[in-house]
Structure 1
Amino acid sequence: MTTSPRLTDYKVLVFDCYGTLVDWETGIYEGLKPLLLRFPGAGWSRGEALEGLERAEKKIQAADPALLYPDVLAKSYLELENELVERFADGNTPSSSSAEDAKAFGASIKNWPLFPDTAAALRELSKTYKLCILSNVDRGSFAHTHAKLSTGDTNALASPFYSPDPAQEWWFPQRIPGADSPFSMILTAEQVKSYKPALPGFLKALEIIRDELIGGEDAVKNTMWVAQSLHHDIEPSHKLGLRSTWINRGGAAMGAEKGPPKYTWTFSSMGAFAEAVKNEKA
């Protein structure tokens, strides 16, 4: 007789960041508002605008997996603008965006807000697991987010404690003297030159977890994936035999996936997930 898996059966959690820990949809939508205001005839809802940006982003990431994420965002902004021009431009539409507008949108990652329950949930979960990140972003942008996640201060900025060591191939924040990070390992698309849902980042993360964090034990058996995006994380982690937890942030427009559920557990927030782990241990 096989027993059902428990949340506390695992040694390592790997998180998606943007969408799961950080409210990237709010950050992206705020950055798109000046562009959307130029096309009132589109009448796009927030969800339609985000889906449009996601369409552009997927195409650009697939075409150039080595492109840094701020450049992906900048190109996606211009791609979305081209779609709006083709479909909704009229004689009253203002002139096109500048390269500076697109670059500013690409640089907005550092301003994206945390979900309110994120920092406390990470601290609670770090009492039970080694916490890791695999994110479709670059190291420089993530340094700002890392400071927010580590301090809980939504205005925190990158510092030597929260930035990658340029001499290290991989990013192990807790090995930096004086660092107060909840994460044992951070891996970005910049390092693996691959964007999720492609599998190279997942495979590299599991390799590092096995060799650096759990002493050569089976990484698939000892790792749970935690994410909001079904498309970017839950589906590909399932292909590798990993158990996963879906953080089902209600009303999310990005990261949807068709087909039967591939996750083992689901919670409405990081706070609810952390509380369930705490209760299971009690």
Structure 2
Amino acid sequence: MFEDFDALSFDCYGTLIDWEAGIADVLRPWARASGSSLSDEELLLAYADEEARVAREEPEMLYPFVLAAAFRATGAKLNIPVTDDDAARLGTSVPDWPAFPDSAAALKRLAEQFKLIILSNVDRQSFAGSNRRLGVDFDHIVTAQDVGSYKPAARNFDVLAEYADQQGLRLLHVAQSLFHDHVPASRLGLPSVWINRRHDRPGWGATPDPKVSVQPAGEFHSMADFAEAAVPNGSPGPMA
């Protein structure tokens, strides 16, 4: 029951911000300029494991440099050159990534009932650009820069849980990525809701295969559906 919670923590990229569209908008013209006919989905699939690897191996690297390094590694994998300008273009692109059309309205509605927290795999400056697209003031923000590691590292969720405990908050985690969010949240015993943005598309896109089974407490196909269930007519309701 949603009334069991008084705070929601959110993954941002993939859940609130359309990071696949943002990344593809950089990778697509780069690939086309080389003569490649790879689809957006194929480019994202090639890219996904490289970002996860760089973030795992370089946990204190700021996110713009993770993006740039992952882009270079993707180019090496696909045998397509990545220039310094190419790498910098992706590294600085986060503020340009679009919000999903339902994110801002859903967050505004959820803020009527819950404290809103961000747990994101970016740096503070990159998130500030995205926050302007979301239209709400979050009650607390935790980035990879703050923690010194990237999800799915357990430390990111430990920091989130420590904050919730200090504030006396009953926390529900809301995210799209099984790999980055639901698997580590489950290991911590943190209940979560899956915003399954890719429900109508096969494959994992820019998110690596979690490779383990995980069962979130609920599943919705959009933030709009989640907000309607959590705050129907301005009051909390049962979990779908």
Q: TM-score, normalised by structure 1?
A: 0.77
Residue 50 of structure 1 contacts residue 253 of structure 1 at CA under 8 Å; is this kept in 2?
yes
Match 1:254 to one of 206, 212, 215: 206
Aligned-pair distance for 1:249?
Answer: 0.6
In the TM superposition, what are the counterparts of 1:202-217 in structure 2 within 5 Å? 202-211=157-166, 213-214=167-168
> Does the alignment pair 1:17 with 2:12?
yes
> Does the alignment pair 1:27 with 2:22?
yes
Aligned-pair distance for 1:63?
Answer: 1.0
User: What one-letter code is carried by the residue in structure 1 that aligns with 2:125?
Assistant: G
Residue 30 of structure 2 contacts residue 86 of structure 2 at CA under 8 Å; is this kept in 1?
no
> Does the alignment pair 1:115 with 2:115?
no
Aligned-pair distance for 1:258?
Answer: 3.5
The 2-side partners of 1:281 and 1:60 are apart by: 40
RMSD in angstroms over aligned alpha carbons? Answer: 1.6
Residue 39 of structure 1 contacts residue 84 of structure 1 at CA under 8 Å; is this kept in 2?
no
Match 2:50 to one of 53, 56, 63: 56
The 2-side partners of 1:136 and 1:99 are apart by: 23
Q: Which has the larger radius of gyration?
A: 1
Residue 28 of structure 2 contacts residue 40 of structure 2 at CA under 8 Å; is this kept in 1?
no
Q: Output one character per residue of 1:143-178: Cα deviation in whole Å (capped at 9) or x when no partner.
A: 11111112xxxxxxxxxxxxxxxxxxxxxxxxxxxx
The 2-side partners of 1:267 and 1:16 are apart by: 15
Aligned-pair distance for 1:39?
Answer: 4.4
> Does the alignment pair 1:65 with 2:20?
no
Aligned-pair distance for 1:141?
Answer: 0.6
Aligned-pair distance for 1:210?
Answer: 2.0
Q: Output one character per residue of 1:109-132: Cα deviation in whole Å (capped at 9) or x when no partner.
A: 010000000000001111111110
User: What one-letter code is carried by the residue in structure 1 that aligns with 2:9?
Assistant: V
Q: Output one character per residue of 1:171-213: Cα deviation in whole Å (capped at 9) or x when no partner.
A: xxxxxxxxxx3310001001101000001111111112222x3
Match of 1:8, SS state, is: helix
Q: Which residues of structure 1 form unaligned runs of 5+?
A: 1-5, 90-95, 151-180
Aligned-pair distance for 1:34?
Answer: 2.3
The 1-side partners of 2:213 and 2:50 are apart by: 26
User: What one-letter code is carried by the residue in structure 2 that aligns with 1:24?
Assistant: W
Q: Name which structure has the greater RCO, CA cutoff 8 Å, separation 6+.
A: 2
Aligned-pair distance for 1:68?
Answer: 0.3
Q: TM-score, normalised by structure 2?
A: 0.90
Match 1:100 to one of 85, 104, 111: 85
Residue 186 of structure 2 contacts residue 214 of structure 2 at CA under 8 Å; is this kept in 1?
no
Match of 1:105, SS state, is: helix
Residue 123 of structure 1 contacts residue 182 of structure 1 at CA under 8 Å; is this kept in 2?
no
Corresponding position of 1:154? none
Residue 23 of structure 1 contacts residue 113 of structure 1 at CA under 8 Å; is this kept in 2?
yes
Aligned-pair distance for 1:281?
Answer: 2.7
In the TM superposition, what are the counterparts of 1:1-282 in structure 2 within 5 Å? 6-41=1-36, 43-85=37-79, 96-150=81-135, 181-211=136-166, 213-214=167-168, 222-250=170-198, 251=201, 253-255=205-207, 256-279=209-232, 281=236
User: What one-letter code is carried by the residue in structure 1 that aligns with 2:152?
Assistant: P
The 2-side partners of 1:137 and 1:63 are apart by: 15
Residue 35 of structure 1 contacts residue 81 of structure 1 at CA under 8 Å; is this kept in 2?
no
User: What one-letter code is carried by the residue in structure 2 that aligns with 1:123?
Assistant: K
The 1-side partners of 2:165 and 2:227 are apart by: 24
The 2-side partners of 1:110 and 1:44 are apart by: 25
Q: Which residues of structure 2 form unaligned runs of 5+?
A: none
Q: Output one character per residue of 1:85-118: Cα deviation in whole Å (capped at 9) or x when no partner.
A: 1xxx6xxxxxx33212211210000100000000
